[in-house]
Structure 1
Amino acid sequence: MLAQQEAAQVSEEEQAHLAQVRKPQYIKQIVANACGTMALLHALANVTDLCADGENGNYREGTFLHRLVSLYKDEGKTPEQLGEFLNEDEELERVHNMFATSGQSNMDENTRFHFVAYVNLAGTIWELDGRRSAPLQKGDCTNETFGIKIAELLQGYVQMDNSCAFSLMALAPDMGQ
Structure 2
Amino acid sequence: SSGVYFLKQTVGNACGTIGILHAVGNITSQIKLGEGSYLENFFKVTAKMDCCERAAFLEADREMEMAHSVAASGGETEASDVVDTHFICFSCVNGQLYELDGRKAGPISHGASSPDTLLKDAAKVMVGMIEKNPDSNNFSVMALSKK
The TM-score, its normalising length taken from structure 2, stands at 0.89
Q: Number of residues paired by the alignment? A: 145
- Write the letter of the residue equivalent to 1:36: G
Distance 1:70 1:49 in 2: 12
**C-alpha displacement at 1:78, in angstroms?**
1.4
The equivalences for 1:86-105 within 5 A come to 86-103=58-75, 104-105=77-78
Q: Which runs of 4+ in 1 moved over 4 A?
A: none
Counterpart CA distance in 2 for 1:91 and 1:72 is: 15
- The residue number in structure 2 matching 1:43 is 23
The structure carrying a bigger helix percent of its residues is 1
Partner of 1:173: 146
CA contact (8 A) 1:50 1:172 kept: no
User: What aligned pairs does 1:111-130 form with structure 2 within 5 A after superposition?
Assistant: 111-130=83-102
Indicate if the aligned counterparts of 1:71 and 1:82 stay in contact, CA closer than 8 A. Answer: no
Which letter maps to 1:164?
N
> What RMSD, in angstroms, separates the aligned Cα atoms of the two structures?
1.6
Offset of residue 105 of structure 1: 5.0
Q: Percent identity over the alignment?
A: 30
Residue of structure 1 equivalent to 2:4: 24
Q: SS of the counterpart of 2:137?
A: coil
Contact 2:8 2:52 in 1 (8 A): yes
Distance 1:113 1:79 in 2: 22
State the structure with more CA Rg.
1
The amino acid of 2:37's aligned partner reads T
CA distance in 2, matches of 1:105, 1:169: 22
1:6 is aligned to: none
Paired letter, 2:28 = T
Q: Note the alpha carbon deviations across 1:14-46, whole angstroms, 9 max, x for none.
A: xxxxx2xx3311111111111011101110111
DSSP-derived class of the 1:48 partner:
coil
CA distance in 1, matches of 2:100, 2:40: 19
Counterparts of 2:19 and 2:28, CA distance in 1:
15
Query: Is there any run of 5+ residues in structure 2 with no aligned partner, and where?
Result: none
Counterpart amino acid of residue 169 in structure 1: M
| Cα pair distance change 1:129/1:100, threshold 3 Å | same
For residues 1-177 of structure 1, what are the structure 2 equivalents within 5 Å?
Answer: 19=1, 22-52=2-32, 59-73=33-47, 76-103=48-75, 104-109=77-82, 111-162=83-134, 163-174=136-147
- Residue segments in structure 1 that go unaligned for 5+ positions in a row: 1-18, 53-58
CA distance in 1, matches of 2:3, 2:39: 18
* Contact 1:39–1:115, Cα closer than 8 Å, also in 2: yes
Q: State the secondary structure of the residue aligned to 1:51.
A: coil
